[in-house]
Structure 1
Amino acid sequence: MLKRLWLWLGSLLGKLFLLVAIIGLGGWGIGSAYYHWKFSGPVSSEEQIPADEAALTRSIIEDAIRVVEQHRDNTRVLRDAHAKAHGCVKAQLTVSPSLAPELQHGVFSEPGKTWQAWMRLSNGNAYPQFDRARDARGMAIKLLDVPGEKLSKSPQHAAEQDFVMFNHPAFFVRDVAEYKSNFAAQADGKKALAFFPSWNPESWEIRHLVIALKTLAPAPESPVATTYNSIAPFKLGPLNIKYRVIPDPQACPSYSLPAQNQDLPNFLRNALYQQLSLDRIPACFALQVQRQNPEYYMPVEDPSIEWDESISPFETVARIQLPAQDFDSREQNLLCDNLSFNPWHSLPEHRPIGGINRLRKAVYEAVSTYRLERNQQ
């Protein structure tokens, strides 16, 4: 009797497992087919601005100021994101001598030219935390003494060209409306609800949650040992492109970073200091662009979509070198804290495009002005 019961239970569980597997595989197949259909070209190569974007942007600025105030320390107002810097270091960007003519626009218009620059390397969180915590990582580059009229009308940034990048190729929201909902939940301390705005499963953003979790990556061994992406698209003359910066150790003297104590709160700054200041070894990168092919699903307005590299491979447009230097001084750290990076500090040939970039213009300017005024800079 007991034997028959166990056999019956085993048979039932086996059938239930098979049924669940069939349903799971069927759901995966339907989901794959749906996303293949939904994320297929062609797409527009032009910007499409929603009617409510300006109102949403004003609301996001209010939330950003609220986050800044939540995370201020005793003496200074911090950035609303990427508050913790590993260092601001001097850099040199050299345009590729053999750059293709169709890519020779803006600061890349003169092959072989070298620009002096600042580079800020950072964690992504709005509050400084231990480097070993899973987090986004950021790279911001500011080219100096760049002639020509800029998109930003601020005299303070009239000679600058900025590039702002992160350590993941896709963003965790698709547009300004979703950013408003997501950011408001985080500002209210409800991070778990940021991707589940209501009880309606149709409003859930599971794919974007996965992107966010991937963005919160373990720390690299050094800030110069990971890849950074623009995520959102930009103009390069008449082209629509995305940027990325990849490590290029072959362009620098051979170097092996000594093992770092990752239990230290600032081991990424220590790694940068070890290489540039103690061992006096430069770090090298390649700056690359990826062209939009609008015949395929490479949208301008949705930065949560990674453009397919097999369709449009990245092309190197410049080399970046961080020379050996001393950067970890009180004066330079204060300078770093007061530097403002904004992709709209830009020549028209590099104009940011897409909703998230339009949002950046307003939010970055508002938060930067607020922060510097509160810090009496």
Structure 2
Amino acid sequence: MLTRAWLCLGRLLGKLLVLLLIVGLAGWGLSSAYYAWKFSGPVSIDEQIPLGEADLTQGIIEDAIRIADQHRDNTRVLRDAHAKAHGCVRAELSVLPTLAPELRHGVLSEPGKTWQAWMRLSNGNALQQFDNVGDARGMAIKLLDVPGDKLLTSDQGATDQDFVMINHPVFFVRDVAEFKQFFAAKASGKRVLAFFPSWDPRTWELRHLIIALQTLAPAPASPVATTYNSITPFKLGPHNIKYRVIPAPQDCPSYQLPKQNQDLPNFLRSALHQQLALDRMPACFALQVQRQNPQHYMPIEDTSVQWDESIAPFETVATIKVPGQDFDSTEQNLFCDNLSFNTWHSLPAHRPIGGINRLRKEVYEAVSVFRHQRNSAN
């Protein structure tokens, strides 16, 4: 009797699992078909600014300042994101001598030109958490002594050109409206509500939740051992592009980083210090650009969509070298903390485009002013 009952229960569970598998496969098929339809070209090559974006931006600025003020380190106000640096190091960016003429714009105008730069490597979070916690990792590059008028009116006379990236190809929000929803939830300590704003399943952002979880990835072995992406689009002269920086160890002397203790809170800084300061070995990268093909779904205003590399492959435009150096001093760390990196610290030839970049222009400047004013007053 008991055996028969177990057999019946087993058959029932088996049928239930098969049913769940069929439902899951059907759901996957329907969602794939939906996104294949939704993410089909062509797309606009121009920015499309929605109504109400300015009001949403102001609300985000207020939330960003609130978060920056909440995450004080004793008396200092830290960045509202990428607060923890692994190091701020000197670097050189060299334009390819053979760069194609159609890509020679802005800081890439002169083939063979080498720019001196600062590079800041960081965790993405606003908290100074352990490096082995899942997180985005950031790379920001500031080219020095770049002549020409800049996009920000407050930057006229400034001589820097910035590039800002993280080690994931897409962002987990599509536009300013969704970013406002996420940031308000984050400022209130309820960030999960950003993806489930109501009980209506039509408002759920499951795809974006998956992207967010993928972004919170395990740490690389070293800050110089991962690929960094612009995520948002930019101009390169007449072209709409995204850019990325990839490791190029073949351009440097052969080097094997000794195994690091990843249980230490700052092991990424230790890895960088091991390579650059102790072993005196350089790190090499390639700067690449991906040109928009508007006949396919490569939107400007949706940063949650990855541009298809099989249609629009990345092209190397410059090399980057971080020479062996001492960088972990109190003075240099403080200098690094006071540097402001902004995609709008830029020549017009590299103008940021799209809603998230328009948002960055206002938020970065407001938070940077707030942070420097508070830190100078303390």
1:145 maps to what in 2? 145
Match in the other structure for 1:306: 306
- The yes-or-no answer on 1:28 pairing with 2:33 is no
User: Partner letter of residue 278 of structure 1?
Assistant: L
Q: CA deviation at 1:7?
A: 4.0
Match of 1:38 in 2: 38
Residue 98 of structure 2 is matched in structure 1 by 98
1:166-225 CA deviation, whole Å, 9 max, x = no partner?
A: 010000000000000011101101122221111111111111111111111111111000
CA distance in 2, matches of 1:147, 1:174: 34
Write the mapping of 1:1-377 to structure 2, written as runs, cut at 5 A: 1-155=1-155, 158-376=158-376
Does the 8 Å contact 1:223/1:272 carry over to 2?
yes
Gaps of 5+ in 2: none
Asked if structure 1 preserves the Cα contact closer than 8 Å seen for 2:150 and 2:156, the reply is no
- Secondary structure of the corresponding residue to residue 183 of structure 2: helix
2: distance between equivalents of 1:214 and 1:7? 41
Distance 1:67 1:157 in 2: 31
Separation in structure 1 between the aligned mates of residue 56 and residue 231 of structure 2, nearest angstrom: 21
* Shift in alpha-carbon separation, 1:285–1:5, aligned structure 2, 3 A: same
Moved more, 149-158 or 127-136: 149-158
Q: Within 2, Cα distance between the matches of 1:364 and 1:275?
A: 32
What stretches of structure 1 move > 6 A for 4+ residues in a row? none
8 Å Cα contact 1:240-1:291 kept in structure 2: yes
| Aligned AA (1:66) | R
Identify which range, 7-16 or 54-63, moves more after superposition: 7-16
Q: Once superposed, what is the RMSD of the aligned Cα atoms?
A: 1.2
Kept after mapping to 2: 8 A contact 1:131/1:267? yes
Aligned residues: 377
Assess, with a 3 A threshold, how the Cα gap between structure 1 residues 190 and 11 changes in structure 2: closer, same or farther: same
Cα distance in 1 for partners of 2:5, 2:349 equals 75
Q: CA 1:101 to 1:15, structure 2 compared with 1: closer, same or farther past 3 Å?
A: same
Deviations 1:84-132 (A, max 9, x none): 0011100000000100111000000000000000000000000111111
Structure 1 position 45, deviation (Å): 0.9
Distance 1:15 1:362 in 2: 56
Cα pair distance change 1:23/1:276, threshold 3 Å: same
> Contact 1:157–1:345 at 8 Å: present in 2 too?
no
The Cα of 1:261 is off from its aligned counterpart by 1.2
Give distance in 1, aligned partners of 2:372 and 2:46. Answer: 35
With over 3 angstroms needed to count, the CA separation of the structure-2 counterparts of 1:368 and 1:156, relative to structure 1, is farther
State, as a whole percentage, how many aligned pairs show the same letter.
76
Counterparts of 1:15 and 1:145 in 2: how far apart (Å)? 69
Between 189-198 and 166-175, the greater mean CA deviation after superposition: 189-198
CA distance in 2, matches of 1:156, 1:76: 28
Deviation at 1:20, TM superposition (A): 1.9
Listed one character per residue, the Cα deviations across residues 148-175 of structure 1 (whole Å, up to 9, x for unaligned) are 1100122487111000000100000000
Whole-angstrom CA distance in 1 between matches of 2:181 and 2:109: 40
> Structure 1: which 5+ runs fail to align?
none
- CA deviation profile, 1:13-47 (whole Å, cap 9, x unmatched): 33322222222111111111011101111111110
What is the rounded CA distance, in whole Å, between the counterparts of 1:19 and 1:267 in structure 2? 47
1:245 counterpart letter in structure 2: V
Distance 1:61 1:337 in 2: 20
| Alignment TM-score, normalising by the size of structure 1 | 0.98
SS of the residue 1:376 aligns to: helix
Measured after TM superposition, the shift of residue 3 of structure 1 is 4.9
Is the CA contact 2:106–2:350 (under 8 Å) kept in the aligned structure 1? Answer: yes
Change beyond 3 A, Cα 1:8–1:363: same
- Measure the CA separation in 2 of the matches of 1:256 and 1:370: 42
Alignment-mate amino acid for residue 109 of structure 1: S
Greater Cα offset, 358-367 or 320-329: 320-329
CA distance, structure 2, for counterparts of residue 23 and residue 215 of structure 1: 28
**CA distance in structure 2 between the aligned counterparts of 1:330 and 1:125, rounded to whole angstroms:** 22
Query: Which is worse superposed, 90-99 or 16-25?
Result: 16-25
Query: 1:334: how far off?
Result: 0.7
The alignment partner of 2:207 has SS state of helix
Q: Is the contact made by 1:152 and 1:158 (CA closer than 8 Å) also made in structure 2?
A: no
Mean Cα deviation higher: 11-20 or 77-86: 11-20
Q: Which amino acid aligns with 1:329?
A: S
Equivalents in 2 of 1:334, 1:142: separation in Å?
16
